[in-house]
Structure 1
Amino acid sequence: MKKLFYFFLLFGVNGNLLVPQLYAQTYKFDFGKGKTGKGYNKVLPETVYNPQTGYGIDLGTTVMSNTSVGKAAPTDGFLTSDQPFYFSVKLPEGNYDVKVWTGDDRGTADIAVRAENRRMFVNRLQTKKGQHKLIEFTVNIRDSLIAGTNKKIRLKPREYAYLHWDDKLTLEFNSTSPKVNAIEITPNKKAVSVFLAGNSTVVDGASEPYSAWGQMFPYFFQPGKVAIVNLAESGETLSSFIGARRFEKLLSLMKPGDYAFVEFGHNDQKQKGQGIGAFTSYKKDLEYFIDAVKKKGGIPVVVTSVQRRRFDSSGRIVETLGDYPAAGRLTAKEKGVALIDLNALSKTMFEAMGEQGSLLAFAHFPAGAFPNRKEAIADNTHFRPFGAYEVAKLILSGVRKSVPGLAQFIKPGEPVFDPARPDAYSSFYWPQSPGKDATKPDGN
């Protein structure tokens, strides 16, 4: 009877595998025609995700298989598409090391890799005919439950459609010729988690064209060493982040030596009432955030509010965030914690871009550029992917200067970024993800 119970647990009443390698440390998938690598699950175009099998091509996307077999499993075959496609695996909450083999024994390949809500891990990788390359990164997946309690984060209605609150890891393969040979996914209990608390300037933006620096940040760190856990959400203030139990979720996941970056101010400055203000309620909440992170053995990092795009007649950025950046600087100093002065760094960068050049960093698009938005988009708070990437580089500059413990995990060879010399827009490669929703994010 006991053996029969475990058979049904693993395979279900129809003999189908419910969750791939349920008790295995590594989940392995071999894509396309050819021999199946030892210990791998074969993935073909008809392998469509469903909760019972626990893995497959997902979100209505379709793929094609290789037509001729290559040299050796698991890279002898691949799946590809002329459109971006998704692959999902049902997994419990946690950090995971992911390996993706790409390439073609008989042709070239060109791939971009993202995870969950468009988190960037590879912006472009090209392989020559007969060449294969291994992509490695570490990703966090999570749900809305708060461990050890019967409570959940108070999600906003739109968040229920987000890819980062479900029970699976979803990978996006993009670019002109994405060819996936094989994937391995291994739990990572030792990686340093870097938690991000913030608003729409930090969030993992779900759909094109809006992006924020938090979803670009994972790209810059060594695989196996760091996992970025972005709990930011559009429209949040520091007080609402705490009130919606997002901070409680953060603390429930934190282990000693992890980091917690906190950037608010844009929406906080609109709060009204007695005792509400940068040096009163906001500073008090920031002190509470810092103290609670320290109590868990974590390392708090205060990030001042990124600038909005508003220029004066002389081409200088107009300060629009009131006393909130100053309150952040003062609190970090008084509490003796690291400060990344994003407010100052972004002022330098946006002025270097100029009033016209900075349009390409923010969400400015002509009428009809996106299906659900007939009118033009002229948003001077929220970023397009290029702007989000550049702001992430500013944060990385702050890490190098003020957070040496984390700076040691930046990818080798990543150049030092000078805010006064931002990248050219033409240098950034970002093929759009399938999801396009030009609804303006909450907050401003």
Structure 2
Amino acid sequence: MALSRRHVVVGGVGLAVSAGGTAYAGSRRSRTVWIAGDSTAAQKYADAAPETGWGTALPFLLGRGLVVANHALNGRSSKSFVDEGRLDALLAGVRPGDLLLVQFAHNDEKTEDPARYTEPWTTYQRYLRLYLDGARSRGARPVLATPVERRRFDADGRAVPSHGEYPAAMRALARRERVALLDVQALSLALWQELGPEATQAYFNWTDTKQDNTHFSPTGAIAVARLVARELLRTRVLAPHDVRRLDEEIPSSWITWPEAAA
């Protein structure tokens, strides 16, 4: 049977990808790390290579007993992901002890599109609560991740934030709901600043025909996944034995792009 875009072989939407196999805390099954998000995290296909979502690289940084199920999808906001039934589909597979990582904002910012737009301090927070409530109702742990930063620099070479009030709104919600927060926005902005305007080109989807300052190359996806893994450790969502390769080189050749079936 032909595979659809919702059923992919490696790191794909709707399919768990093992990052190990050892049971967790005496259990005979692995825990699943579910990802709900947009194109910056999503699995990419051969027709989009070398564009890479950070969710594709995350399994290389997680230890045995953890599996990644990447449901992030291009073009989705916290609102459209819910309205299209994708959160319900994801939650149907969630089991007690799993994690749900939630990263949205890039498309929530699209004021011209009512199907995706949310206002930071009202509808954005309201939709994010649906993810938190859904995970908790199934005995899973929700984790919020502020949106990874775009590649933007001012005339003086300073990395410029691009997400307006959305990161602050997510941080406030995490405090109020007592949910772990991975501050990927702040960390990625600092990383782009450290690298500078020229070096960051290699981290984004810059090719001979495209200068994409939002989506990542394999190098960038691995770097952002490393930020996510370090934050999961820092916030004690994961224990030291749950992560690996935090300070090791991960070859870009490990990233693959499945063929997209018709």
TM-score category (smaller protein):
0.7 to 0.9
Structure scoring higher RCO (CA < 8 A, sep ≥ 6) equals: 2
CA contact (8 A) 2:13 2:43 kept: no
Select 1:384's aligned residue among 201, 217, 225. 217
Provide closer, same or farther for how the CA distance between residues 189 and 247 of structure 1 changes in structure 2, counting only shifts above 3 A.
Answer: farther
Question: Shift of the alpha carbon at 1:407?
Answer: 4.6
TM-score by length of 2: 0.83
CA contact (8 A) 2:44 2:258 kept: no
Residue number in structure 2 paired with 1:259: 99
- Per-residue displacement from partner, 1:86-134 (whole Å, max 9, x unpaired)? xx9xxxx9xxxxxxxxxxxxxxxxxxxxx824x4xxxxxxxxxxxxxxx
Residue number in structure 2 paired with 1:108: none
Give, in whole Å, the separation in 1 of the partners of 2:98 and 2:58: 16
Give, in whole Å, the separation in 2 of the partners of 1:378 and 1:216: 22
1:270 paired with 2:98, answer no
Give, in whole Å, the separation in 1 of the partners of 2:13 and 2:150: 30
* SS at 1:339 equivalent: strand
Give, in whole Å, the separation in 2 of the partners of 1:141 and 1:268: 20
Question: Shift of the alpha carbon at 1:341?
Answer: 0.2
1:116 paired with 2:13, answer no
Question: Shift of the alpha carbon at 1:303?
Answer: 0.2
Figure out how many residues of one structure are paired with residues of the other and give that number: 243
- Per-residue displacement from partner, 1:272-321 (whole Å, max 9, x unpaired)? 56x94011100111122112211111101000010000101222111111
Question: Shift of the alpha carbon at 1:415?
Answer: 3.7
Give, in whole Å, the separation in 1 of the partners of 2:28 and 2:43: 23
Give, in whole Å, the separation in 1 of the partners of 2:257 and 2:35: 25
* SS at 2:42 equivalent: coil
Select 2:36's aligned residue among 188, 194, 197. 197
CA contact (8 A) 1:196 1:228 kept: yes
Select 1:319's aligned residue among 141, 161, 169. 161
Equivalences for residues 355-434 of structure 1 within 5 A:
355-366=197-208, 376-405=209-238, 407-411=240-244, 414-416=245-247, 428-430=251-253, 433=256
- What one-letter code is carried by the residue in structure 2 that aligns with 1:297? G
CA contact (8 A) 1:196 1:230 kept: yes
- Per-residue displacement from partner, 1:231-279 (whole Å, max 9, x unpaired)? 0000000111111211111211111111000000000011356x94011
Higher-Rg member (1/2): 1
Residue number in structure 2 paired with 1:242: 82
Provide closer, same or farther for how the CA distance between residues 432 and 296 of structure 1 changes in structure 2, counting only shifts above 3 A.
Answer: closer
TM-score by length of 1: 0.51
Question: Shift of the alpha carbon at 1:434?
Answer: 7.1
- What one-letter code is carried by the residue in structure 2 that aligns with 1:256? P
Give, in whole Å, the separation in 2 of the partners of 1:248 and 1:401: 29
- What one-letter code is carried by the residue in structure 2 that aligns with 1:222? G
1:221 paired with 2:62, answer yes
Higher fraction of strand: 1
Residue number in structure 1 paired with 2:51: 210
Give, in whole Å, the separation in 2 of the partners of 1:358 and 1:401: 25
In structure 1, list runs of 5 or more residues that go unmatched: 1-50, 52-58, 60-87, 94-114, 120-139, 143-163, 170-187, 367-375, 418-422, 438-444
Higher fraction of helix: 2
- What one-letter code is carried by the residue in structure 1 that aligns with 2:77? T
Question: Shift of the alpha carbon at 1:391?
Answer: 0.5
CA contact (8 A) 1:397 1:416 kept: no
Give, in whole Å, the separation in 1 of the partners of 2:86 and 2:33: 15
Give, in whole Å, the separation in 1 of the partners of 2:81 and 2:206: 28
Equivalences for residues 96-107 of structure 1 within 5 A:
none
Residue number in structure 2 paired with 1:104: none
Give, in whole Å, the separation in 2 of the partners of 1:247 and 1:269: 20
Give, in whole Å, the separation in 2 of the partners of 1:189 and 1:253: 17
In structure 2, list runs of 5 or more residues that go unmatched: 18-26
CA contact (8 A) 1:264 1:305 kept: yes
Give, in whole Å, the separation in 2 of the partners of 1:291 and 1:434: 33
CA contact (8 A) 1:399 1:407 kept: no
- Per-residue displacement from partner, 1:27-68 (whole Å, max 9, x unpaired)? xxxxxxxxxxxxxxxxxxxxxxxx6xxxxxxx9xxxxxxxxx
Residue number in structure 1 paired with 2:193: 351
Give, in whole Å, the separation in 2 of the partners of 1:267 and 1:389: 22
Structure 1 runs of 4+ with >3 Å offset: 403-408, 431-437
State the superposition RMSD in angstroms: 2.9
CA contact (8 A) 1:258 1:298 kept: yes
Identity of aligned residues (%): 29
